[in-house]
Structure 1
Amino acid sequence: MVITDPYCRILMVTPRRAHSSQMWQLPGGVVRQGESPRQAVQRAVKYQLGLHLTHNGIAAVTWTQVSTDEGPDSHRDRVRLTFTAARLSLTDIARIHPHPHLLRAVQWAERNLAQQRLGPGFAEGLRWTHTQSGPAYAETRLASRERTFTC
């Protein structure tokens, strides 16, 4: 979920999971069985940050090729829905309590810096949050880093 502060900075998190400890991400998580994507992002943000936020809609759908391996241990490609939230007030920001067992770090960053630090799927989703009136679709292929965008 793209969460912004009164200065239009983007909230980024680094999970404690070993395989992603060096990568900044947007707050959120995976959809569990029986829940919708909207419910999943609200649950994950509440658990990660202690905030109950509603979203303003989907800004982007991104597909990212994670691995070109064909074996049983290969990583799965990812489809991400990038939701946007209302801009947080200073009071809301004071209520942020990062979950110490889930998050290694939390950081506010200007949009350009966030674009540089976020992983590919997250950066593509962020890229489209202020460029269109409706959701965008983007693809990133690992082998060539080729990007395909359609609306």
Structure 2
Amino acid sequence: MAGTDAYPGEPPTTMTDEEYGAVRTAAALWAGAAVLITDAHGRVLVQHVDYHGMCRLPGGAVDRGESPAHAASRELHEELGVTATVRHALAVDWVPATASGAPAGMRFPGETIFVYDGGTWDSAQIAGIRLPDHEITGIGFVEPARLPELLSPGDARRALSALRARINAAGPAILEDGRPIAPTVLDRVQVLHTTRAVHHFGWRPDPVPRGMPVVQSWGWLFAPDGRVLVLLGPGTGSACLPGGTPEPQDGGNVVATLRREADEEAAAHHGEPLFIGHLPDTDRARARVRLAAALTHVGPVRPDPATGHTYTRILTTPEQALELFDWGPSAGAQLDAVQEARRRLGIPRAAAQPVTELATPVTW
């Protein structure tokens, strides 16, 4: 057999070019390309097709002599009427021959599928979609947790893995039948496999009106590098910020609520917080308060005494954190207020980087 210094396609010295080519051809896989597109609320674009009972992401087969990236762009034009160039890969998935359920007569040999980042589309881009006369019968933007319901099992695993890879910002995920061979903390706790809580409240940067009850005090707690602490629920992967519901012992003080809840949920401690705004309920007179502060230390992981839940603690950029929530149209305004609070605290803006788990105590 060829040595490890052989270049790709170099036949072993014991085989002719024809013999080696026949061996490689017999081991060949199909190639496919898919594109992951989201809207401003983090929902994923799926297509309804006329040849299959399940939905699918935009994409299809890579043609002979075609690059996967070119195939992805071509499929966007053919299926959605959109001219776009895709360059950034989110995942590469090896699909074994036994995984597809393809008819025996198709002689499916297995496939390598490249998933590309189609970006976040605004209303104008969505309005510009033009469907073909056949094959694609409709499109929709759906909550990530609905992908297993709408897509085939392998397609859903691949799409969720690609979406987590996009949030994690660590480069393309290498998958086997949709499962990452090197799972990140987002994969391990299965972020986005349950429906994100909907918090479509308006953002108000001013104090809570006198007499309006506060039902939640959450904190954007910053590490020195500008990332924030986010908690992921066990078994659900659902995200929340440190903080919680005011209790009588807090004496009506939202800072006291944040300090108590951050300690109970995450063993997290912080400096003096800044008030950055609140979210009034749409159907009743009550408010959710948002504060910002610099983290000083986190202790050992332990269960929340109120719920018994042991949260997974991660550090993310504020932009990554927003991908884990469904805060509706006011999300951008809240993010702007968070970044302004970060500046007031004298903390640098976080560089794009992978999510980090805080599994052990840290002091800053």
Q: Determine if contact 2:36/2:58 at 8 Å carries over to the other structure.
A: yes
Task: Read off the aligned partner of 1:49 and give its amino acid letter.
Answer: L
Task: Identify if the C-alpha distance between structure 1 residues 72 and 119 changes in structure 2 by more than 3 Å, giving closer, same or farther.
Answer: closer
Match of 1:41 in 2: 72
Instruction: Give the TM-score normalised by the residue count of structure 2.
Output: 0.36
SS at match of 1:127: helix
The equivalent of 2:149 in structure 1 is 116
Q: Identify which of 31, 48, 64 aligns with 1:14.
A: 48
Distance verdict in 2 for CA 1:74–1:35, change over 3 Å: closer
Deviation at residue 112 of structure 1 after TM alignment: 0.8
CA–CA distance in 2 between the matches of 1:108 and 1:80?
A: 22
Q: Which amino acid aligns with 1:118?
A: L
The answer to whether the aligner puts 1:92 opposite 2:129 as a matched pair is no
1:138, CA displacement in angstroms? 1.5
* Cα distance per residue 1:59-112 (max 9 Å; x no partner): 11112235379x664333222111111211101110011113121332210111
What amino acid sits opposite 2:85 in the alignment? T
1:3 to 22, 31, 37: 37
Query: What CA distance in whole angstroms lies between the structure 2 residues aligned with 1:73 and 1:89?
Result: 39
Q: Is residue 176 of structure 2 the alignment partner of residue 139 of structure 1? A: yes
In the TM superposition, 1:56-95 aligns within 5 A as 57-67=88-98, 73-95=106-128
What is residue 144 of structure 1 aligned with on the other side?
none
1:45, 1:115 → 2: CA distance?
A: 23
**Amino acid of the structure 1 residue aligned with 2:141:** W
- Give the ranges of 4+ consecutive aligned residues of structure 1 lying more than 4 Å apart after TM superposition: none
Q: 1:72 to 1:126 in 2, by over 3 A?
A: closer
CA contact (8 A) 1:115 1:126 kept: no
Identify which of structures 1 and 2 has the higher relative contact order when contacts are C-alpha pairs closer than 8 Å and 6+ apart. Answer: 1
Q: Provide the rounded CA distance (Å) in 2 between the counterparts of 1:38 and 1:31.
A: 9
Alignment size in residue pairs: 142
Q: 1:47 to 1:126 in 2, by over 3 A?
A: same
Q: Percent identity?
A: 26
Report if the CA contact (8 A) 2:69-2:87 is conserved. no
- By how many angstroms is 1:119 displaced? 2.0
Partner deviation per Cα, 1:22-81 (whole Å, 9 max, x = no partner):
121100111112221111000011110011123251111112235379x66433322211
Residue 101 (structure 1) aligns with: 134
C-alpha distance 96-121 of structure 1, shift in aligned 2 (>3 A): same
Can you give the 5+ residue segments of structure 2 that lack an aligned partner in the other structure?
A: 1-34, 184-364
Output the amino acid matched with 2:77. K
Equivalences for residues 25-36 of structure 1 within 5 A:
25-36=56-67
Contact kept? 2:173, 2:180, Cα under 8 Å: no
SS in 2 for 1:150: coil
In 2, Cα distance between the equivalents of 1:104 and 1:135?
Answer: 30
Q: In 2, distance between residues paired with 1:148 and 1:2?
A: 17
Please say if residues 62 and 124 of structure 1, whose CA atoms lie closer than 8 Å, have aligned partners that are also in contact.
no
Q: Output the TM-score relative to the length of structure 1.
A: 0.80
- Which of the two has higher C-alpha Rg? 2
State the partner residue of 1:150: 182
For residue 84 of structure 1, give the secondary structure of its aligned residue in structure 2: strand
Bigger shift: residues 42-51 or 128-137? 128-137
Change (3 A) 1:118 1:37: same
